[in-house]
Structure 1
Amino acid sequence: MTYQLSTLQNGLRVASEHLPGMESIAIAMSVDVGARHEEEAEGGLSHLLEHMAFKGTSTRSARDIAESFDAIGGQFNAYTSLEHTVYYAKVLKEHLPLAVDILSDILLHSVFDPQELKREQGVVLQEIASHFDAPDDLIFDLLDRTAFPDQPLGRSILSTPERIMSHTREALVTYMEKHYAAPRMVLSAAGNVKHEMLLDLAERYLAPLSPGVPRPPVVPGRYVGGDDREADDLEQLHLLLGLPALSAHDDDYYALQLYSSILGGGMSSRLFQEIREKRGLAYHVSSMTAAYADCGMMNVYCATGENEAAELPMLLADEIKRMAGGVTEAELSRVRNQQKAELLMARENPGRVAGWIGRHLLVFERYKPLKEIIANIEAVTHDDMRRVGALLLEGMPTLAALGPIGKLPPHEAVAGRLLA
């Protein structure tokens, strides 16, 4: 497995990792722009622009783009996060030139036809409506806007119907020119790829990318915490408990990942065993982390019945508080093995590897070798775990709830249980 990195004269980074024994190649164009880069009036533009990228160029219609990938049995898509936008494709190795050609075409020559924009705005409105019909998705919007109030990290990636419908073709073009600059982009590939070929294709198709101009600094994330609960006629109460955590750059990042896994990362986790197996209070309970460039959170999610709403948040608080006192060697060993297995298995997926390369170069300015990541996981100590546990209890928790909230305890009671 060979990793190589080159940089074009315009600043675009071109990176690849050859994975032996594969017939396919996954490519990704990762752009250092997401919802947190948007000014308030630009809400939803990152996501809308991602949608519009596949809606036609000066030489290809939207149908041409779709049929080109279908004709070779390829896959293509894109996604937007709070910090990045990623366009990706997976094709057989002989079709790499076409895949790079099309991805380059949509990034350089999209026409943003006003009629296509109007139709795609309607599609995004349907996506927003679908989001509101999914309480296990919507609950995360409540959490973010409460944990990070009045700042970009607290806004929805999808934005609002009113904001989406206000955007014009000119707004899309201006936003793209502002953020889609070669030094803020990475073309990555993994699988049966030859770096020299990828570099030649990048120079042929992507050399015209603008080197860009400086843009305003991103608004720093500032965790606040608090309470946000919405009554809704649902069968279950959806609950998220958020705690201030760490950025992706923090020295204790890997300790936090292990900590979250012990707390709620699987069927043997503390929360699963206590809340579901022992007490039968919830079907789904889990913990997860959100690590941004400058801040982060650890979240616990569960869904339960109305009658269990009074007890469950307090039990979550008790378990989090208890775990801050330390974990067992058996628990630490188990989650180390889980994390390593997940990484090694994911490495067999070229799409995951191409995505890792792009994200690492945008976030860390280098691609972290798998051996280094595994060494960091193995190096986590019990002192590290206790330090992370104490950190999680240093700030105001965020409680977000959606559904039958009548029996839910007040935020002060949950916070008091955690911070006492």
Structure 2
Amino acid sequence: MYCKTTLENGIRVVTETMPQVRSIAISIVIDVGPKDEAPEQSGLAHFVEHLMFKGTSSRNAVQIARLMDVAGGLIGGFTSRDYTCYFATALDDYRTYALDLFGDVILNSTFDKESLERERRVILREIEADQDAPDQLAHSLLKATIWPNHPLGRLIAGQPEVVRKVAREDIIYFIHKHYLPDRLIIAAAGSMEHEDFVAQVRDAFWRMLGQGSPSPSRTPACHSGVTIRARDLSQVYFALGVKARFYTHPDRYGLHVLNDLLGGGISSRLFRHLREERGLVYNVASSYHAYRDGGLLVIEGSTTPQGLMSVLSLTVAQLWRLAEEPLSEEELWKTRERIRSRHLIASEDTNTRMSRLVTQEFYFGYHIPTSEIVEQIQQVDQGTVQRLAQELMVNGCLALAVVGPQSPRHYSAEAIEKLLIEGDVHSLRARSISGRR
């Protein structure tokens, strides 16, 4: 059963009781992320998240870790482009301990110099590791290409030159400005009663006061283009992005169906067309990335340098095919059933339920039942998928990032731009028609 309470200080508490389990999954979401950072603050929200659980005025990092070990659970955090999240999973006997711990780290973390310098080094290594991973690098370069000069196009971890300069005063100021009760959502799913949980939250966070201002909306301008980063690799890694809808857009259900149909698994069109039928790739997949201010349909994979242009050509042809040719009822039914099945199976997990609770409250301000989500997916028809594909291809913009060996004989930015942006649409449509199986 879903319940929601807003505390006197503005904290929103949302819960879903699952009496059949003994565990509880808890998360705290703060409405602050890279979307709130100026360029000279890039990575600050992520830096703050790294410093949590490193010590408070009453507990050190080892004591915090041992407390959660005893509870049989895990504790951690992550920074998304829209918000910062801290989470824990524990046996229901220890939910009071978990909430007390959250209240302690949010309100009483000391951010001592030793921890700050250690986490600075850790974050710099994290950035370097992402730069060394060609698939991660291609993804980051894609967002920087399609959303330049916008927070959605920046690295969540920040730029190294900014991370090196962060001082303790910057951390304290950032927390005082953004870690305010009306910007907090506390969600839980599992074994608990709502009123008891609310009382425990109130006990842990009653000292949290203040009021923040809403984050300004900044719709990103979309830029078409190609970025190539040379790396000494045997494979070429690519990330192709098409402008899509923001998180709360009414078309979101149709985009989930379109994405799953295109590259959501081993029966998807791209996987069958590029790997199973032609052997051009080992892996290829698509994903729908939706945020408060924008969205992106991303197609990622890897191939040989000599195969890249063929892979890109066939990929764009498949997008045009979706735009021009109605789906068969059988393919649409199978896609919707695949999404429905995955959604219902995941709903049996406390962490999934908790995650849905908190993200729905963050983006919509209300709860969307699983039954309604399934119903909306089932209502996506052939016309909706075709309309969305047409809008993506005709009215949207495409960008590409490539990471791999320099091979001008096989591909170049100019040739790719011609294919993606200035290419002969009729030839792409012809390829799409000839590629139908």
What TM-score results when the alignment is normalised by the length of structure 1?
0.97
Aligned residue in 2 for 1:119: 118
Letter in 2 for 1:196: E
Find the partner of 1:416 among 412, 418, 422. Answer: 422
Q: 1:56 to 1:419 in 2, by over 3 A?
A: farther
Of residues 402-411 and 275-284 in structure 1, the stretch that sits farther from structure 2 once superposed is 402-411
Aligned residue in 1 for 2:405: 404
Aligned residue in 2 for 1:387: 387
Equivalent-residue separation in structure 2 for 1:88 and 1:419 (angstroms) = 48
Provide, for residues 279-321 of structure 1, a one-character-per-residue CA deviation record: whole Å limited to 9, x for no partner.
0000001111111113211111110112212311111111111
- Report the Cα offset of residue 202 of structure 1: 0.8
CA contact (8 A) 2:182 2:212 kept: no
2:265 pairs with 1:266: yes
Aligned residue in 2 for 1:339: 339
CA contact (8 A) 1:317 1:417 kept: no
CA contact (8 A) 2:322 2:385 kept: no
Letter in 1 for 2:418: E
Aligned residue in 2 for 1:371: 371
Letter in 2 for 1:126: R
CA contact (8 A) 1:320 1:418 kept: no
Equivalent-residue separation in structure 2 for 1:273 and 1:164 (angstroms) = 43
Provide, for residues 28-73 of structure 1, a one-character-per-residue CA deviation record: whole Å limited to 9, x for no partner.
0011111121111111111110010111111111111111111222
Equivalent-residue separation in structure 2 for 1:249 and 1:74 (angstroms) = 32
Equivalent-residue separation in structure 1 for 2:233 and 2:124 (angstroms) = 23
Letter in 2 for 1:395: G
- Report the Cα offset of residue 125 of structure 1: 1.1
2:62 pairs with 1:63: yes
Provide, for residues 185-215 of structure 1, a one-character-per-residue CA deviation record: whole Å limited to 9, x for no partner.
1110001121112101111011222232325
Q: What do you get for the CA RMSD once the two structures are aligned?
A: 1.3
Q: 1:295 to 1:215 in 2, by over 3 A?
A: closer
Q: 1:419 to 1:15 in 2, by over 3 A?
A: farther
CA contact (8 A) 1:141 1:156 kept: yes
CA contact (8 A) 1:249 1:294 kept: no
2:274 pairs with 1:275: yes
Aligned residue in 1 for 2:362: 362
- Report the Cα offset of residue 414 of structure 1: 2.5
Equivalent-residue separation in structure 2 for 1:61 and 1:102 (angstroms) = 11
Aligned residue in 2 for 1:210: 209
Aligned residue in 2 for 1:250: 249
2:181 pairs with 1:175: no
Of residues 306-315 and 38-47 in structure 1, the stretch that sits farther from structure 2 once superposed is 306-315
Equivalent-residue separation in structure 1 for 2:71 and 2:90 (angstroms) = 8
- Report the Cα offset of residue 184 of structure 1: 1.4
Q: 1:88 to 1:94 in 2, by over 3 A?
A: same
- Report the Cα offset of residue 146 of structure 1: 0.5
- Structure 2 unaligned residues grouped into runs of 5+: 427-437
2:228 pairs with 1:229: yes
- Report the Cα offset of residue 78 of structure 1: 0.5
- Report the Cα offset of residue 218 of structure 1: 4.0
Q: 1:117 to 1:419 in 2, by over 3 A?
A: farther
CA contact (8 A) 1:25 1:90 kept: yes
Equivalent-residue separation in structure 2 for 1:181 and 1:391 (angstroms) = 40
Of residues 218-227 and 330-339 in structure 1, the stretch that sits farther from structure 2 once superposed is 218-227
Provide, for residues 200-237 of structure 1, a one-character-per-residue CA deviation record: whole Å limited to 9, x for no partner.
11110112222323256243322222111111111210
Aligned residue in 2 for 1:193: 192
CA contact (8 A) 1:56 1:112 kept: yes
CA contact (8 A) 1:31 1:184 kept: yes
Equivalent-residue separation in structure 1 for 2:424 and 2:322 (angstroms) = 11
Q: 1:108 to 1:237 in 2, by over 3 A?
A: same
Equivalent-residue separation in structure 2 for 1:291 and 1:374 (angstroms) = 19
Aligned residue in 1 for 2:155: 156
Aligned residues: 419
Equivalent-residue separation in structure 2 for 1:63 and 1:207 (angstroms) = 26
Equivalent-residue separation in structure 2 for 1:33 and 1:391 (angstroms) = 31
Aligned residue in 2 for 1:350: 350
Equivalent-residue separation in structure 1 for 2:424 and 2:101 (angstroms) = 52
Letter in 1 for 2:369: P
CA contact (8 A) 2:309 2:416 kept: no
Equivalent-residue separation in structure 2 for 1:338 and 1:344 (angstroms) = 10
CA contact (8 A) 2:235 2:404 kept: yes
Letter in 2 for 1:329: E
Equivalent-residue separation in structure 1 for 2:84 and 2:406 (angstroms) = 35
Aligned residue in 1 for 2:297: 298
Equivalent-residue separation in structure 1 for 2:327 and 2:209 (angstroms) = 51
CA contact (8 A) 1:37 1:218 kept: no
Equivalent-residue separation in structure 1 for 2:130 and 2:53 (angstroms) = 22
- Report the Cα offset of residue 20 of structure 1: 2.7
- Structure 1 unaligned residues grouped into runs of 5+: none
CA contact (8 A) 1:318 1:418 kept: no
Of residues 409-418 and 152-161 in structure 1, the stretch that sits farther from structure 2 once superposed is 409-418
Equivalent-residue separation in structure 1 for 2:209 and 2:160 (angstroms) = 32
Aligned residue in 2 for 1:284: 283
Equivalent-residue separation in structure 2 for 1:318 and 1:261 (angstroms) = 17
CA contact (8 A) 2:30 2:185 kept: yes
Equivalent-residue separation in structure 2 for 1:89 and 1:362 (angstroms) = 18
Provide, for residues 108-161 of structure 1, a one-character-per-residue CA deviation record: whole Å limited to 9, x for no partner.
111111121011101111111211121111111100000101111110001122
2:135 pairs with 1:136: yes
Equivalent-residue separation in structure 2 for 1:76 and 1:163 (angstroms) = 28
- Report the Cα offset of residue 166 of structure 1: 0.5
